Chain A
Amino acid sequence: MKRFDLERIGLGLAAPVLALIVAALLSSIALVISGNSPLHTFNAMLDYGTQPETVVQTVNKATIYYLSGLAVAIGFRMNLFNIGVDGQYQIAAFFAAVVGGWLLLPGPLLIIVVVLVAIVVGALWAGIAAVLKVTRGVSEVISTIMLNVIGGGIVAYLLDPHRLGTIVGTQQVTTKPMPSDAYLPGIPVSGGEIYGFIVVAIACGIAYWVLLGRTRFGFDLRATGLSETAAVASGVSVRRMVIRTMLISGGVAGLVGMPLLLGSSHAFAQDFPTGYGFSGIAIALLGRNNPIGIALGALLWSFLEQSAQILDLENVPKEIVTIMQGVTVLSVVIAYELVRRFSLAQQQRRVGAELRAAAAPGTPTTGEGSPA
């Protein structure tokens, strides 16, 4: 048993270490090809990335990425591919901002209402894809991508001075700003302020871990992801699970825009950032759908992005970071798959060897059929 544990820990460490070495190697090759020194580039990034201001920005962006990664990972655990986190958080943040701007409530209460609106809108938007899947058999991959576009269109249509938008200052169309007593206070540190919403993000991570690992619902969800046929035979209603899982995934996706809305922008303007949902997919992959893994993935992703800001000054094209991010995801996915296959083959070989040894003396082993 002990040997078993040691081996498992070893294999568990092997994958990320292998992946990071390969990613660094491939990134270096890309840098060399583009005529830059890898060592110099990495040094510059590390230097800039560890300055207090950059660290704060890294953590803030990672908070957003973490929520996005969790939203995607919930679906992944059930073999549902929610590509629609991007659309879900935008439409959720938009309606939350509208409510936050118009509703007259004392600050703390308003914050709670805004967050709830975001959860509900995100869940409903994802729910459309779930209903299409269980009633019409539409793949959620297709429907969520389409809903991204539709969601963006709806937000663009409604964000208009004649509809739900107003013009503030210099021609910027935005929703009505939230009152200042509904600003979510940040956590002051040496390099600036960290989003207060990080507390909610951490709570979501814990909730994710509890839900999946400790509850019946989570067991049904994971069972469905591991083997739908076995889950059905065990009494899981897959349709119901698809609906519930998509609603939860969409609800968490609704939170993705909240750190920004409550912590800094306080309104949904035309320049509200897009694309966090797609980063979430990569981060969920990086984190292997594990709540701590996703946190590390979000931090790494964010660190690469923030530390790359210095590269322009060093005359290295900033886009090199996109290559690094892509290479990292690929390396991680491949490394984990290799390690998984290796350890499975090894386990089976060991069992096979034990059986042959046990079967050799005395009792002849008989059986029929191939286990395929």
Chain B
Amino acid sequence: MTSAPAPARDTIAVQLRGITKRFPGVVANRDIDIAVRAGTVHAIVGENGAGKSTLMKILYGMQKPDEGSIEVDGRTVSFSSPADAISAGIGMVHQHFMLADNLTVLENVVLGAEPGGFGRLDFRAARRRILEISDSYGLGVEPDRLLEELGVGDRQRVEILKVLYRGARILILDEPTAVLVPQEVDELFGNLQELKSEGITILFISHKLDEVLAVADEITVVRRGTTVATVLPADVTARRLAELMVGGELPSPETRESTVRPEVVLEVRGLTVRGEEGRPLLDDVSLTIHAGEVLGIAGVEGNGQAELVDAIMGLRPATGTVRLGDRELTELNTRHRREAGIGFIPEDRQRQGLLLEAPLWENRILGHQSQRPNVTGPWIDRAGARADTERIVREYDVRTPGIDVAASALSGGNQQKLIVGREMSGNPVLLLAAHPTRGVDVGAQAQIWDALRTARAEGLAVLLISADLDELIGLSDTIEVILRGRMVGTADPRTVTPEELGSAMTGAGEAAEPAEHGPAGGRHAAGTVAVADREDAGRHLVPGPDPVPPDSGPGADPDLDVPLPGTAGPGLTGTGTTGTGDLANDPDAGGEERP
């Protein structure tokens, strides 16, 4: 294998043309066009949920595209299983390693591709091969170590070797840095250079812009399931990439006229959630939402949004206080919090929002098991629940043959409309909406936005979490930026642009100067939670070399300020690492523009 001549750099190793993949109610990929040159690192970037994973599953034979063609080394191929992809020379290194702890490296590598025949295992030949591969690509793998003795970086190299052992010339790395600490990221990037120089082609999936800029030869941006641009790292900045990733093409969810009323509905003070090792996942967060106000939380996923929602719902233990109107919720369980008037649109509707195998009318009861019209005393009121389900189906335009079909038979958008309708029932005073339009089609999205707008006008307070920045900006009265469990900035949706928000969220400002960090530019990327160096949180927002005037806002320490890219004006205000105090002292968080 190593004797294969390194292909010339301008031959195309993988060509995807017009790839489209539909799931019921969702188009996960549409008209994807990518050309990957042999012997290069080609990065695919996009927000979570943009369709990167589906695309890679298609390329690795785990999903079949509905339309489009795949060419590998100039030959059109059709994969019906990963085995086909492997035999075509494509290998995948998953984000979560597929290795057995109690086996040696050697055993792990040969597992499923055992050498020898007739039931005999030829470990000697396998060891020789492994060492050969390891040496020629500089992987430094020791075949006889037990896997459980190895660190994460070593394990990843074992995964890479495993794929090479099966003859792969094209490697797909799915978010390879997500589990690594900075030094390991450096090492990985070193390995990638080595692999590349030996003629291996690498597809590098990531949403961390600085890493991508440091390692890739070419970058393709995926947004809403389709490829929007292919660029060279030399030609773009992290900010430009963020812009491409976030985009702005959907019908606008604008709601301009403010409906914010003076009365406070939700008041959260010093909310902290700790992970299993005691590390805070949500760190001393305070926020206030008024009646008729939508507070948007902007952040890359995994920075504490889920923990914030769970803590307010009482789904996981937290310290700090939560008040709803003049009621203290801190000691209440989830059911009592719901009864107090909280509606909840969960992030994962299939896992948290629905009983997939139960009929729609029983799903109407879920989460409202103690409220009319679903129950009277200890009894389920079937007639009441069914009638009200009919109402929701009608008012929220849930497309279904009837209320007796299982929830799993509905499309994603219709499932979500049912959930929104349910959570709006019973006059809630607060709605927690986590990614309310994720994975739903445009029609359902517009309807859900309408429902939120109407309820807001009637005085509903909404905590909105979304990865769709257009949605956040369009619906919110105030936007808070969350990074590593802390609130690090406030933005005024009237003036902020998706690009500005995007760079504040991803900490892309720093990456505009990757040269200083060498290939390790990615070490501070948002989402590499393993770094756990929270004191850095504010500094991620330090402006790069772009000529940006220092902000003269309330943040005293200029290092802690958010850059104000462009000329849009002071849309973003950093509150720095002491953010909670600032927020707590600012009763006008509801829609007032900061100086």
Chain A residues within 8 Å of B, Cβ to Cβ: 1, 4, 213-220, 222-223, 226-227, 229-230, 232-237, 344, 347-348, 350-352, 355-356, 359, 363-371
A4 to chain B, nearest CB (A): 6
In the complex the two chains form, what is the Cα distance from A98 to B44 in whole Å?
74
**Docked-complex contact A347 and B405, CB < 8 angstroms:** yes
**Docked-complex contact A233 and B51, CB < 8 angstroms:** no
**Docked-complex contact B354 and A230, CB < 8 angstroms:** yes
Asked if B378 is at the interface of the complex by the 8 Å CB criterion, the answer is yes
The residue that B438 contacts in the complex, of A227, A359, A368, with Cβ under 8 A, is A368
Asked if B23 is at the interface of the complex by the 8 Å CB criterion, the answer is yes
Question: B141 contacts which chain A residues (CB < 8 A)?
Answer: none
The residue that A233 contacts in the complex, of B21, B22, B315, B358, with Cβ under 8 A, is B315
**One of B142-150, B173-181, B260-268, B331-339 contacting the partner:** B331-339
**Docked-complex contact A216 and B375, CB < 8 angstroms:** yes
Q: Name which residue of chain B comes closest to A217, CB basis.
A: B378
Instruction: Using A4-B401, A227-B355, A230-B355 as known contacts, list a sample of 5 further A-B pairs with CB atoms less than 8 Å apart, ordered by residue number in A.
Output: A215-B378, A216-B380, A233-B315, A233-B344, A368-B438
The residue that B367 contacts in the complex, of A229, A235, A355, A371, with Cβ under 8 A, is A235
Question: A359 contacts which chain B residues (CB < 8 A)?
Answer: 441
**Docked-complex contact B355 and A223, CB < 8 angstroms:** yes
Given contacts A234-B369, A235-B367, A371-B23, contact A365 B28 (CB under 8 A): no
**Docked-complex contact A219 and B362, CB < 8 angstroms:** yes
Q: Name which residue of chain B comes closest to A218, CB basis.
A: B380
Q: Name which residue of chain B comes closest to A344, CB basis.
A: B408
In the complex the two chains form, what is the Cα distance from A356 to B348 in whole Å?
24
Which of chain B's residues 330-384 have a Cβ closer than 8 Å to chain A?
Answer: 333-338, 344, 346, 348, 350-358, 362, 365-370, 375, 378-380, 382
**Docked-complex contact B53 and A235, CB < 8 angstroms:** no
**Docked-complex contact B365 and A219, CB < 8 angstroms:** yes
**Docked-complex contact A367 and B440, CB < 8 angstroms:** yes
In the complex the two chains form, what is the Cα distance from A235 to B410 in whole Å?
24
B289 to chain A, nearest CB (A): 20
**Docked-complex contact A368 and B379, CB < 8 angstroms:** no
**Docked-complex contact A235 and B333, CB < 8 angstroms:** yes
B359 to chain A, nearest CB (A): 11
Question: A235 contacts which chain B residues (CB < 8 A)?
Answer: 333-338, 367, 369-370
Q: Name which residue of chain A comes closest to B55, CB basis.
A: A370
**Docked-complex contact B352 and A233, CB < 8 angstroms:** yes
**Docked-complex contact B224 and A368, CB < 8 angstroms:** yes
Most chain B CB inside 10 Å of its own CB: which residue of A220, A223, A352, A366? A366
**Docked-complex contact A369 and B50, CB < 8 angstroms:** yes
In the complex the two chains form, what is the Cα distance from A253 to B24 in whole Å?
45
**Docked-complex contact A366 and B225, CB < 8 angstroms:** yes
Asked if B54 is at the interface of the complex by the 8 Å CB criterion, the answer is yes
Query: Can you list, as one digit per residue, whether each of B428-452 has a CB less than 8 Å from chain A (1) or not (0)?
Result: 0000000000111111000000000
For the complex of A and B, 10 pairs with smallest distance between CB atoms = A235-B335, A369-B49, A234-B367, A367-B26, A233-B352, A235-B334, A347-B409, A369-B439, A352-B24, A226-B355
Chain B residues within 8 Å of A, Cβ to Cβ: 21-28, 30, 48-51, 53-54, 57, 224-225, 250, 313, 315, 333-338, 344, 346, 348, 350-358, 362, 365-370, 375, 378-380, 382, 401-402, 405-406, 408-413, 438-443
**Docked-complex contact B353 and A230, CB < 8 angstroms:** yes
A16 to chain B, nearest CB (A): 20
A196 to chain B, nearest CB (A): 30
Q: What are 23 A-B residue pairs whose CB atoms fall within 8 Å in the complex?
A: A1-B401, A4-B405, A215-B380, A216-B375, A216-B378, A219-B369, A222-B358, A230-B351, A232-B334, A234-B368, A235-B337, A236-B335, A344-B406, A355-B24, A365-B441, A365-B442, A366-B30, A367-B439, A369-B49, A369-B438, A370-B23, A370-B26, A371-B28
**Docked-complex contact A233 and B346, CB < 8 angstroms:** yes
In the complex the two chains form, what is the Cα distance from A363 to B441 in whole Å?
10
In the complex the two chains form, what is the Cα distance from A220 to B367 in whole Å?
10
B66 to chain A, nearest CB (A): 9
**Docked-complex contact A351 and B378, CB < 8 angstroms:** no
In the complex the two chains form, what is the Cα distance from A344 to B24 in whole Å?
13
Q: Name which residue of chain B comes closest to A213, CB basis.
A: B380
B67 to chain A, nearest CB (A): 12
B83 to chain A, nearest CB (A): 21
**Docked-complex contact A229 and B351, CB < 8 angstroms:** yes
Question: A234 contacts which chain B residues (CB < 8 A)?
Answer: 334-335, 338, 366-369
Question: B379 contacts which chain A residues (CB < 8 A)?
Answer: 214-216
**Docked-complex contact A233 and B365, CB < 8 angstroms:** no
Q: Name which residue of chain A comes closest to B346, CB basis.
A: A233
In the complex the two chains form, what is the Cα distance from A227 to B53 in whole Å?
25
**Docked-complex contact B442 and A363, CB < 8 angstroms:** yes
Question: B402 contacts which chain A residues (CB < 8 A)?
Answer: 1, 4
The residue that A230 contacts in the complex, of B26, B366, B438, with Cβ under 8 A, is B366
Question: B28 contacts which chain A residues (CB < 8 A)?
Answer: 367-371
Question: B365 contacts which chain A residues (CB < 8 A)?
Answer: 219
In the complex the two chains form, what is the Cα distance from A219 to B370 in whole Å?
11
**Docked-complex contact A366 and B441, CB < 8 angstroms:** yes
In the complex the two chains form, what is the Cα distance from A87 to B370 in whole Å?
36
Q: Name which residue of chain B comes closest to A369, CB basis.
A: B49
Question: A356 contacts which chain B residues (CB < 8 A)?
Answer: 22
Question: A355 contacts which chain B residues (CB < 8 A)?
Answer: 24-25, 411
